[in-house]
Amino acid sequence: MGQTFFKIWIHIVWGTKDHIAVLNDDLRLKIFNHIKQKALDEKIYLDTINGTANHIHCLISINPKFSISDIVNKLKGESSHWINSNQLTASHFAWQNGFSAFSVSESQVNKVRNYILNQHIRHKKLMYSEEVKKLLKLHNVQTE
* Per-residue pLDDT tens digits for 56-84: 999 999 998 999 999 999 999 999 999 99
DSSP state of 87: T
d(CA 115, CA 111): 6
Nearest 5°: the CA angle 124, 126, 132 is: 140
pLDDT band at 133 (very low <50, low <70, confident <90, very high): confident
- Dihedrals phi, psi of 62, to nearest 5 degrees: -100, 150
Residue 8, CA distances (Å) to 34, 50, 130 in order: 23, 20, 26
Domain residue limits, the chain: 8-138
CATH architecture, range 8-138: 2-Layer Sandwich (3.30)
